[in-house]
Structure 1
Amino acid sequence: MDSNFSIYTTSLTLESLDITPSNIFPAFIFGTLTYCAILVFNMTVLLTIALNRKLHKPMYVLLFNLPLNDMMGASAFFPQLVASMLSQNRSITYSACFVQALLIHLYGAGTFLTLTAMAYDRYVAICCPLKYNTLMSPNNLLKIIIIMWILNFTLISLLLALNYRKEICRTQIVDIFCNNPSLMKLVCEDTQANNYYGLFVMTFFDGLSLLIVVFTYIQILITVVVKRQSDARSKAIQTCGTHLIVFLCFEFNTFFAFIAHRFETASPSLRRALGASAVIFPPILNPLIYGLKTKEIRENFIFFFHKVFPRNQKNKLSGVKN
């Protein structure tokens, strides 16, 4: 029989990173630089949207939530990871583990909700252009954002709260970071209610988001084909193609990562790789994809860069003349 451990006095042990001593410092540098790059990329998108009035439109106001969300997820994952690399200590307190799991799940659910809201915005813009200013008015936009975050905090907080126990039977986390499935495996008592609620939350965020995105994009495709307008078609491809790729990549990554936790036969290495990739790659790729592929953001960023560093540009020009 497993012994009981108090969560207030017991440290948990995260899964080993399996890094050889000679590679610890390079891995630490790489992880630190990756985290810094995520912060710089996402802050650039945030500042570009915030400081340019031309981008104060519903589509970009919704997009503003994505880098905020990505930085939250990255900040929950990377500092603890690189600190444990340097100290070669994979222990973590239960409270810190709980907070990390909460923030990472808020990040995952927030990504689904933000991308779903952006799909709805594109649907209204392309399929109901005459109603766009009414449906996506500042008041309605504010309501959408508030509902998004309230849903996120409520459902995810309850998900993690169901696993919070005074006593646990195990201290080994089966992932390289803390998440709800790993915390659930520490619990001594019956976790059937946790399983059912976890499936509901996964279905709500993954399933409902997928249904809404698929429906809106089918409607967009039908509208573009019916109108037979080249400008409408190019607008749909430009504004929706990138968003759809980002959404589907995140959807399938998180789906298989959660499914892998439900099957004991799933490869632990594959499960860890899928879980980590869902936290590492989107915060890096999202600002690059939206910054490079979205014409208005790209142009306003270049304008903002020249406005902030005018002297450097003049010095370069004078140097060339000399």
Structure 2
Amino acid sequence: MENGSYRNEILRIEGLQITHYSTYPVFILLFLAYLFIMVSNLGIIMIIAMEKALHKPMYLLFCNLPVNDALNATVVLPGLLKDILAESDRYISYAACVIQAFGVHTFNTSTHTILIVMAFDRYVAICNPLRYHTIMTNKMVVRLSVIAWVAATVPIIIILALTIRLSHCTSTILNPYCDNPSLFKLSCENLSLNQIFGLFIFAVIWTTSVSCISLTYLKIAHVCLKNQNSTLKSKAIKTCSTHLIVYLIHFGCACSIVILHRFSAYEELRKLASILIYVIPTSLNPVIYGLQTKEIRHWIEQIFLRRKVIPG
């Protein structure tokens, strides 16, 4: 390309390849999923905010997760729903595409960092119960929350900065929404730096999260095996199993996206997986925590019981 700084200011998003007959069923399913995601996640946030008994470090740190899930789904699903009903191609400005890619990667990364600080809270509660309230103060909760969001944001800014510098030789995003791989694939330049650095950041984030959470669980397991207190073991199993299930769901979904991005033969499967990552974890997280956390479950039960009471 003669002009090395050439960049398309308007991009076309390829979107999902669905038939005319499946348009409305797919739209309804995604709309109901998005509605459930928003109601369940925002509902849990409201429950924690309104119930003073839930104003504890564990639940205040957990609040970061439903906030992140609601934002994560909102970055992708409303635009996707609009595209499904639109008869013409979807176009988006380059700046808006970069902003969406920033949100996509930041909110996915922050899931890891949030789960790490939640694991730290469980470690302190189980391994150092007498010092828990001394360590997990309101200031510490705020500090951990800020660290979780900043640690997720900084590497994404660096990754996108490397992508923005590239010129373009095409204007089509081969994905249902904008993300970093789709953005740097617009260029015909040497993409080795982008691919290597992207994989490096991915490896660092996953290695850090897996290492921190594994180390935390090993220490918790050691304390539980050493201590014969059945109440402590029951508490550890209940709280840690919920946390671990949420982590494994996100781990599996994210790994599938990264792997499928490297194989062009599975393009349609990758597109489907790239949408499901915004439906499955964000839908299951509030259900898992809502059903497994006694205080939240009790609050929800009380709401339904009050509605069933008929005035005399």
* Structure 1 pair 270–228 and aligned structure 2 pair: CA distance change class (3 A): farther
Partner of 2:300: 301
Q: Structure 1 residue 166: deviation in Å?
A: 6.9
CA contact (8 A) 2:166 2:187 kept: no
Amino acid at match of 2:55: H
Are residues 14 and 2 of structure 1, via their aligned partners in 2, closer, same or farther at CA, if it must alter by over 3 Å?
farther
Higher mean alpha-carbon deviation, 49-58 vs 132-141, is at 132-141
Closer, same or farther in 2 for the Cα pair 1:261/1:74, shift >3 Å? Answer: same
* 1:199 matched residue in structure 2: 199
Give runs of aligned pairs for residues 3-42 of structure 1, distance below 5 A.
6-8=7-9, 10-15=10-15, 17-42=16-41
Q: How far apart, CA to CA, are the structure 1 residues paired with 2:161 and 2:278?
A: 22
CA distance in 2 between partners of 1:180 and 1:90 (Å): 21
Residue 46, structure 1, aligned to residue 45, structure 2: yes
Q: Give the match's secondary structure for 2:177.
A: coil
Query: Match for residue 221 of structure 1?
Result: 221
Question: For the aligned residues, what is the CA RMSD?
Answer: 2.1
One-letter amino acid matched to 2:189: E
The Cα shift of 1:267 comes to 1.9
2:126 is aligned with 1:123: no
Q: How does 1:128-277 map to 2 (within 5 A)?
A: 128-165=128-165, 167-264=167-264, 267-277=266-276
Q: Note if contact 2:11-2:172 (Cα within 8 Å) is conserved in structure 1.
A: no
> Which residue number corresponds to residue 71 of structure 1?
70
Q: 1:95-116: CA deviations, max 9, x gaps?
A: 2322221111111011111111
Deviations 1:248-305 (A, max 9, x none): 12112212311322344x52233223322221111111111111111111112334x2
Relative to structure 1, the CA distance from residue 89 to residue 221 in structure 2 (aligned partners, 3 Å threshold; closer, same or farther) is farther
Q: Do the aligned partners of residues 90 and 98 (structure 1) sit closer, same or farther apart at CA in structure 2, a change above 3 Å counting?
A: farther
Alpha carbons 2:13, 2:175 under 8 Å: kept? no
- Per-residue CA deviation, residues 138-190 of structure 1 (Å, 9 max, x unaligned), is 11111111111112222212222221147411222222222111111112332
- Structure 1 segments unaligned to the other structure (5+ residues): none
TM value normalised by structure 2? 0.92
Give the secondary-structure state (helix, strand or coil) at the position aligned to 2:172.
Answer: coil
Q: Judging changes above 3 Å, is the alpha-carbon distance between structure 1 residues 156 and 145 closer, same or farther for their aligned structure 2 residues?
A: same
Q: Do the aligned partners of 2:167 and 2:189 also contact (CA within 8 Å) in 1?
A: no
**AA aligned opposite 1:60:** Y
Cα deviations across residues 22-64 of structure 1 (Å, max 9, x unaligned)?
2212222222222111110111100011111111111111110
Name the amino acid aligned to 2:170: R
Aligned-residue identity in percent: 36
SS at match of 2:125: helix
Contact 1:3–1:169 (8 Å) recurs in 2:
no
Preserved contact between residue 113 and residue 209 of structure 1 (Cα < 8 Å): yes
- Name the CA distance, whole Å, in 2 between partners of 1:300 and 1:289: 15
Which residue in 2 is equivalent to 1:62? 61
Letter in 2 for 1:288: V
Check conservation: 2:166, 2:189, Cα contact below 8 A.
Answer: no
TM-score, reference length from structure 1? 0.89
Specify the code of the residue in structure 1 equivalent to 2:197: Y
Distance 1:90 1:136, change over 3 A: farther
* Larger deviation, residues 204-213 vs 156-165: 156-165
C-alpha distance after superposition, 1:110-146 (max 9, x if no partner): 1111111111111111112122122211111111111
Extract unaligned runs of 5+ from structure 2: none
